[in-house]
Chains A and B, each alone.
Chain A
Amino acid sequence: MIKLDNIVVKFGEFTALHDINIHVKEGEFLTIRGPSGCGKTTTLRTITGCIEPAEGRVYVKGEDITDVPIEKRNIGIVFQSYALFPTMTVYDNIAFGLKIKKYKKKQIDDAVRTIAKKVDLSDEQLKKAVSQLSGGQQQRVAIARALVADPAIICMDEPLSNLDAKLRVQLRNELKNMQKDFGITSIYVTHDQEEALTLSDRIAVFNKGFIEQIGTPNEIYNHSATEFVCNFIGDINPLCDALTDAIGGIDKANHNYIRLERVRCNPDDTFVGAVFNGKVISREYYGLYIKYSVDIGLQTLKVIEKNDGVNIYDIGSEIKIGISANDIMSYNAQTGEAV
């Protein structure tokens, strides 16, 4: 559906994207993640035509659109700021693209009202100025505006970042449902890990203008291809040499890590692996789960435990910590690639 072929983007002397190759399948939901300045938005803007690459080509359905101007690409965009036109009503915002394309009045009206219904905007809200709507409603307007002209692709640049946490979760689910309903190919940029893992069919992790890994959320999280991805996605414990020695069977020339949920608290007898005595030195309460810092003598480990309301350890409690060699993620110290 979308193919980025050896894309290079330069801002003066600075190279923002280095030889980027991505292939997004039809109907797929691809999320781009990475730290600030890694090239996420630049990639998105290159696809939409806001930025022209210095090298490489952009293809949509096999057609080279690299030199097609932004206004002729028929790619919907939802901006981080929503970019709603403040001098127009909600209706006029949604109808803007159709008016430009010189649709008939009746067609415009039908299309606007249909899409408004789908994104849950009432007739009354259509008459309002965008500033009279809440953040969530504005986000729906931005989505409706992007979808009304029936684009083949929709690009979203952190569309939920301006919302409060509760609304973000609610709209995230709605967004996913909408994407499924419309069957539209979506490219989504986000800083939020949870958003990336829950929404995406695949995730592309960017770093300093390069792609570190593209894969399903499970591949990215559990089988991180590089040390950067392993560190960037989710919380992790780096293991010191003494601990790797104590666990056994691990090459300490590599950089070794273990995810927090893979460290077992008070493992039962069936557990296969190394067990250490530890002492809880801090506790962070998250509601759904509890995060502990446990000193096992060789180093301090972060551990998370499901909050069952019963087994809650106080600071200073003595607990046992179990680590299985199978759960350890190892990376070549020189190349950073998974071993």
Chain B
Amino acid sequence: MKNDTLTLGRKHSWTEKYGPSFMLRVILLVFFVYFFLGFMVLPCINTVKSIFTVKDSTGKTDPLAVIKFFFAGSMPTYVWNSVKLAIGLVITVNVVGISIVLLTEYFDIKGARILRMGYQTTLIYSGVALVTGYLFLYDNDGIITSLLSNAFPNMNTNWFTGFYAVWFTMTFACTSNHALFLRNAIRGIDYNTVEAARNLGAKPFKVLFKVVFPTLIPTLFSLTVMTFITGLCAMSAPTLLGYDSINPEIVRLAGSSTADESFPQARAALLSIILALFTILLLTVLTMYERKGHYLSVSKTKAKLQKQKIANPVVNVLTHIYAYILFIIYMTPVVMIVIFSFQTYSAIRLKKLDFSKLTLINFFGKQDYEYLTSRGTYKTREGSISGLFSNDATLNGIKNSFFMSIVAAALACIIVVIACNYIFKHKKTGVILEYCLLLPWLLPTILICYSYRTYFNTGDIAYVFGNNLYYQNNVRILIILAYTVVKLPFSLRMIKAAFYAIDSELEDAARNLGAGSLVTFLRVKLPIILPSVLAVFALNFNALFTEYDMSATFASSYGTTYAMVIQSMCADEGLYGYNVNASGRRCASTVFIMIVSGLILYLVYGVGSRDLAERLEIKEKRKKRIEKLKAKFKKNAAVGPTEIKG
């Protein structure tokens, strides 16, 4: 529709021009400007400014002090460590990611369905939960480490720490995107092209490298860039596994004071700006590459990809072995955590399974804890062993995360839906709004959170009515705002795609039948995009419910999230009954997260994706089933008395 130009010819009355819809537009415009400037631009500008307004020891402002410090001190190490991790991950994540997709979608591997389930476990548990899972196996008292140290008594039990531990863990943690997007890309390949290549004499691996891979390059390029950024901005794995990279250092510096070290805040700001520059550079490269728009399918009739048999028996066996080794790596933490979540405290502590004493204590209820004191006497701490849902700290973390995630996920969706409605109606001005909402994509989450933490930690910001948003419970508002801002770009990309599915004639049809703009939006457009909006809401919630990076940056006891509680459970279980059963709750937490995430994914992709026709069919089937049952019941009731008589 060319409404932008057409309305020029229309003569509006004063009331029509400045009526309720005009007022609503003005209010929304003011809100967007306020939101964009107040919560995306100004805090980040303040962070940049703080780098150049540092005072030296004489009290003079030295704009280059932090930069000089950067090159003189150990800060480049953090940057290099992050870059090293990112480069390492690009290699291994692509190798593993491509492998799992080829093994389940391209090659004919026995048990591919089960393998796929195993490889996709990272979709239902990630971040802190996943890292704790790996720690449960490979930590100094982990199951695998214990087994290995029994076999090799001289081995260093603290082997799972530092760069290699982070690299290993993140390699398997970061393949979720491959499991989703590369899988879709490979399934989208026209099988006729494979058949054509085979027909022209190419062998299977030649086909793979010459026909299949080139079509996957755009997806692989995007995944590579995203993996690099993930590696650069890694937080939970380096924190839990002890690796000095940028993000944990920013969090440490943000919590430090000038009494302890030189201008820690300004250094944190500099590090987050360095991250932002890396991100902007990489995303610019990605956008430029995407604009080229390679390898569009020219097929009029696509044939479904058929799995390729590996003809060479040796290669076939080796491929199967490789597939199942990957499966074991993916599944072992999951299986162990699920099993141990039903084990007693002592079984978890000793990492010895005892199927005779299965318990729900890690989830519900409390138990007393008896321990041996240094004086050689036994003491009991009442109710010290508590389950996930009986432990106040854990419950508070869950409540906090649940509340903040649900509000932020909803806010992001509402803002984006309103924005998309505007963007599609006003194409010229809509572009500006679109770019504003995509801005957080260029900024690392840690920069946004760090900027919020420093900028709003004062009562001088007029546009938030002089409230210190970092103070006590206010920090929850700040976290919700940060969550919302961070989720805007993803929500926009997904919901905008849903808006494209609305036929412009539907809007005309509704209006022709008498519906105004608002009714058309609420009753025609919204129901069409609702499944996508709910999916985005659910995915946002899923990601935020267990997020660690942002809440750790805020590091406020008033905004302790579930992931922070889980992280604290990784600390050594203390003496004398303190922090007892943390490992048990940790296992139970991971199981709980897997259930919540799995349920949400099922609701989104299982129930939520059904269209009206499918829903009506299910309703009809249900109705028939009930009628059948009723008829059976009636028949039984009629037969019943005769039987008694008999």
Q: How far is the CB of B357 from chain A (nearest CB, A)?
A: 53
Selected interface stretch from B2-10, B246-254, B375-383, B460-468: B2-10
Chain B residues with Cβ below 8 Å from A127 are 616
| Contact between chains at B612 and A77 (CB < 8 Å) | no
* Residues of the A chain whose Cβ atoms lie less than 8 Å from the Cβ of B512: 48-50, 70-71, 73, 75-77
A89:B616 contact, CB within 8 angstroms: yes
Cα of A132 to Cα of B619 in the assembled complex, Å: 14
Q: List 26 A-B contacts (CB under 8 A).
A: A10-B9, A11-B2, A11-B6, A48-B512, A50-B508, A50-B511, A52-B7, A52-B9, A54-B9, A69-B511, A71-B512, A71-B515, A77-B508, A79-B508, A83-B503, A83-B508, A85-B509, A85-B528, A86-B528, A87-B530, A88-B612, A96-B515, A97-B513, A131-B612, A132-B616, A145-B513
Q: Which of B8, B510, B613 makes the CB contact (< 8 A) with A96?
A: B510
- Residues of chain B within 8 A (CB-CB) of A69 are 511
CB <8 Å contact, A12 and B508: no
Which residues of A are found within 8 Å of B2, using beta-carbon distances?
A: 11-12
Q: In whole angstroms, how far apart are the Cα atoms of A83 and B6 in the complex?
A: 22
Q: Are A100 and B515 in contact (CB under 8 A)?
A: yes
CA distance A51 to B2 in the complex (A): 9
Query: Which residue from chain A places its CB closest to the CB of B512 in the assembled complex?
Result: A77
Chain A: how many interface residues by the 8 Å CB criterion? 43
Contact A80 B505, beta carbon cutoff 8 Å? yes
CA distance A55 to B9 in the complex (A): 7
Cβ contact within 8 Å between A87 and B10? no
B514 in the interface, Cβ–Cβ < 8 Å? Answer: yes
Kindly list chain B residues whose C-beta atoms are within 8 Å of the C-beta of A89: 612, 616
Answer yes or no: A166 CB below 8 A from chain B CBs.
no
Q: Chain A 71-115, CB within 8 Å of chain B: the 1/0 string?
A: 111011101110111111100000011001100000000000000
Chain A, 235-275, contact with B by CB distance < 8 Å: what is the 0/1 string?
A: 00000000000000000000000000000000000000000
**Which of B8, B10, B514, B611 interacts with A129 by CB under 8 Å?**
B611
Specify which chain A residues have a CB less than 8 angstroms from the CB of B516 in the assembled complex: 71
* Chain B contact residue count (CB 8 A cutoff): 31
Q: Are B616 and A12 in contact (CB under 8 A)?
A: no
User: Contact: A129 with B513, CB < 8 Å?
Assistant: no
CB-based contact A70/B9 at 8 Å: no
In the complex, per-residue mask of A134-175: 1 if CB is within 8 Å of any chain B CB, else 0: 000000000001000100000000000000000000000000
Report yes or no: B513 in contact with A149, Cβ–Cβ below 8 A.
Answer: yes
Interface residues of B in 496-519 (CB under 8 A from A): 503, 505-506, 508-516, 519
B11 within 8 A of A: yes
Beta-carbon contact of A79 and B505 below 8 Å: yes
Give per-residue flags for A2-20: 1 if the beta carbon is below 8 A from chain B beta carbons, else 0: 0000000111100000000
Contact A131 B613 (CB under 8 A): yes
- The winner among B1, B2, B528 for most chain A CB atoms within 10 A is B2
With beta carbons under 8 angstroms apart, the residue of A53, A81, A131, A132 that contacts B505 is A81
When chains A and B are docked, how far (Å) is the Cα of A71 from the Cα of B523?
A: 15
CB distance from B620 to the nearest CB of A (A): 9
Q: With A and B bound together, what is the CA distance between A72 and B512 in angstroms?
A: 8
Tally the A-B contacts, defined by beta carbons under 8 Å. 103
Inter-subunit contact A10/B5 (CB<8 Å): yes
CB distance from A12 to the nearest CB of B (A): 5
13 additional contacts, CB 8 Å, given A10-B9, A71-B514, A96-B515?
A54-B6, A69-B511, A71-B516, A76-B512, A77-B509, A81-B503, A83-B508, A86-B528, A86-B612, A128-B613, A128-B616, A129-B611, A149-B514
CB-defined contacts of B612 to chain A, threshold 8 Å: 86-89, 129, 131
* B7 partner residues in chain A, CB cutoff 8 A: 52
Check B527 for interface membership: any CB of A closer than 8 A.
Answer: yes
Contact between A100 and B9, CB atoms less than 8 A apart = no
Residue of A nearest to B517 (CB): A71
| Residue A123 interfacial (CB < 8 Å) | no
B471 to chain A, nearest CB (A): 46
Distance A79 CA – B2 CA, assembled complex (angstroms)? 18
- The 3 lowest CB-CB distance pairs between A and B, nearest first, are A97-B513, A87-B527, A83-B509
Task: Say how far A142's CB is from chain B's closest CB, in angstroms.
Answer: 9
Q: A residues within 8 A CB of B65?
A: none
- Establish whether residues A53 and B611, one from each chain, have CB atoms under 8 Å apart when the complex forms: no
Q: Are A101 and B514 in contact (CB under 8 A)?
A: yes
* With A52-B6, A132-B613 as contacts: A87 and B508 at CB distance below 8 Å: no
Residues of B within 8 Å of A131, CB to CB, are 611-613
Residues of A near B509 (CB, < 8 A) are 77, 79, 83-85, 145
- Given A88-B612, A128-B616 in contact, is the A97-B9 Cβ separation under 8 Å? no
Is B593 among interface residues, defined by CB-CB distance under 8 A? no
Asked if A67 CB lies within 8 Å of chain B CBs, one says yes
B616, A70: Cβ atoms closer than 8 Å: no
Would you call B274 an interface residue if the criterion is a C-beta within 8 Å of the partner chain's C-beta atoms?
A: no
CB under 8 Å from chain B, chain A span 50-68: 50-55, 67
Kindly provide the distance from the CB of B416 to the nearest chain A CB, expressed in whole angstroms.
20
The docked-state distance in angstroms from the alpha carbon of A55 to that of B5 is 13
Question: CA separation between A70 and B508, bound complex, in Å?
Answer: 8
Contact with B along A288-314 (1 / 0, CB 8 A): 000000000000000000000000000
> Is there a chain A Cβ closer than 8 Å to B524's Cβ?
yes
Among A50, A52, A73, find the residue whose CB has the most chain B CB atoms closer than 10 A: A50
**Chain B positions within 8 Å of A9 at CB level:** 6
Whole-angstrom distance between the alpha carbons of A35 and B514 in the complex? 32
| Alpha-carbon gap, A51 to B8, bound state (A) | 11
B74-108 interface with A by 8 A CB criterion: none
Q: Whole-angstrom distance between the alpha carbons of A131 and B9 in the complex? A: 38
Q: Are A11 and B5 in contact (CB under 8 A)?
A: yes
Could you tell me if B510 and A129 are in contact, using CB atoms closer than 8 angstroms? no
Bound CA–CA A9/B470 (angstroms): 56
Chain A residue with minimal CB distance to B619? A127
Chain B 517-561, CB-CB to A under 8 Å as 1, else 0, gives 001000110011010000000000000000000000000000000
Residue from the set B2, B7, B515, B612 with the largest chain A CB neighbour count within 10 Å: B612
Cα distance, A128 to B510, chains bound together (Å) = 20
Give the Cβ gap from A153 to chain B, nearest Cβ, in Å: 11
A97–B509 alpha-carbon span in the complex (Å) = 10
B506 touches A85 (CB 8 A): yes
Q: Which residue of A lies closest to B613 (CB)?
A: A129
**A67 and B613 in contact (CB under 8 A), knowing A11-B2, A83-B509, A96-B513?**
no
